[in-house]
C-alpha cells in the first residue's frame, strides 16, 4: 500500500458532484443579475414600462444562451461522473479546471451579446466552449485509461460518450469558422446546434449527432 497523500486524495465522486452542482448553480444564475428592474421614478406610464422592458430583451436572450450552454455541459459531466466507480486526484483536478471554464461562460456569453458583430468576441465564446469540451474529453479519456469507468459500461458505450464530444466539438468549430462569412451566421449555427442538443428531436440522425 502506498501511504502517501496523493493516493488518498480525490476519491469521493459525491463531493465532486456536490461541488460541481454548487458551481453550476452559481454560474447559471450569474447573468440573471443583469436583469434589473427599471427604476420606478424613471417610468411615467405603461408605454414607458413596455419600452424599458423591451430594452431588457437582449440581456434575457444572452442569459438564456448561457443557461443553455451550461445545461449541455452539466449533462455532459453528469453522464461521466455517473458512470465511474471512483475518482482520484488527477480526475478531481481535471474537473476543477472544467469548473473554472464553467464559471467563465456567463462572461464569454455576455461579451458575445454586447459585441455581436466582432469576430474576437465570437472567437472567445467559441474558445470557452472548446475548452469545456476538451476538459470533458480529457476527463473521460483519463478515466478510461486508468480503469475508473464502471465495468458495466462496455466498450461501445464508452466510445459513444467519446464520439459525442468529438462530433460536437467539430460542429462547434465549424460554426466558429463560419465567422469568415459573418458572425451572425456563426451564432445562428451554434445556437441551433445547442437547441438540438437540448431538445434531442425525434429525427434520429439529428438526435444522435
By CB under 8 A, name the one of 51, 55, 61, 120 that touches a copy of itself.
Answer: 120
By CB under 8 A, name the one of 11, 123, 138, 142 that touches a copy of itself.
Answer: 11
Which range of residues in 132-140, 173-181, 182-190, 198-206 is near a copy of itself by CB under 8 A?
198-206
Q: From CA 6, how far away is CA 91, in angstroms rounded? A: 12
Q: From CA 82, how far away is CA 149, in angstroms rounded? A: 9
We find the least distance from the C-beta atom of residue 208 to a copy of itself, in angstroms, to be: 5
DSSP H stretches of helix in the chain: 5-8, 13-30, 46-54, 57-82, 89-114, 119-145, 155-177, 183-199, 204-207
Query: Which residue's CB is nearer to a copy of itself, number 110 or number 133?
Result: 110
We find the least distance from the C-beta atom of residue 130 to a copy of itself, in angstroms, to be: 17
Residue with cell 469540451: 133
Provide CB contacts within 8 A for 2, sequence distance 6+.
Answer: none
Residue 86 touching a copy of itself (CB under 8 A): no
Residue 17 touching a copy of itself (CB under 8 A): yes
By CB under 8 A, name the one of 65, 91, 99, 137 that touches a copy of itself.
Answer: 99
By CB under 8 A, name the one of 73, 74, 98, 126 that touches a copy of itself.
Answer: 74
Q: From CA 65, how far away is CA 188, in angstroms rounded? A: 11
Specify the DSSP class assigned to residue 42.
Answer: G
Residue 130 touching a copy of itself (CB under 8 A): no
We find the least distance from the C-beta atom of residue 35 to a copy of itself, in angstroms, to be: 5
Amino acid at each position: 500500500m502506498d501511504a502517501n497523500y496523493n493516493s488518498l486524495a480525490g476519491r469521493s465522486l459525491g463531493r465532486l458532484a456536490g461541488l460541481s452542482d454548487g458551481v453550476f448553480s452559481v454560474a447559471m444564475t450569474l447573468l440573471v443579475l443583469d436583469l434589473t428592474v427599471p427604476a420606478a421614478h424613471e417610468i411615467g406610464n405603461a408605454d414607458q414600462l413596455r419600452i424599458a422592458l423591451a430594452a431588457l430583451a437582449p440581456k434575457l436572450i444572452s442569459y438564456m444562451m448561457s443557461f443553455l450552454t451550461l445545461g449541455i455541459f452539466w449533462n455532459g459531466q453528469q453522464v461521466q461522473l455517473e458512470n465511474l466507480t471512483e475518482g482520484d486526484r488527477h480526475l478531481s483536478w481535471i474537473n476543477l479546471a472544467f469548473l473554472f471554464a464553467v464559471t467563465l461562460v456567463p462572461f464569454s456569453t455576455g461579451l458575445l451579446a454586447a459585441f455581436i458583430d466582432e469576430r474576437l468576441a465570437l472567437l472567445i465564446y467559441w474558445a470557452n466552449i472548446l475548452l469545456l469540451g476538451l476538459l470533458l474529453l480529457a476527463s473521460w479519456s483519463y478515466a478510461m485509461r486508468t480503469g475508473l469507468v464502471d465495468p458495466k459500461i462496455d466498450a461501445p458505450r464508452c466510445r459513444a460518450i467519446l464520439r459525442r464530444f468529438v462530433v460536437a466539438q467539430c460542429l462547434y468549430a465549424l460554426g466558429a469558422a463560419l465567422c469568415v462569412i459573418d458572425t451572425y451566421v456563426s451564432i445562428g449555427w451554434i445556437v441551433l446546434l445547442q437547441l438540438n442538443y437540448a431538445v434531442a428531436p425525434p429525427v434520429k440522425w439529428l438526435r444522435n449527432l
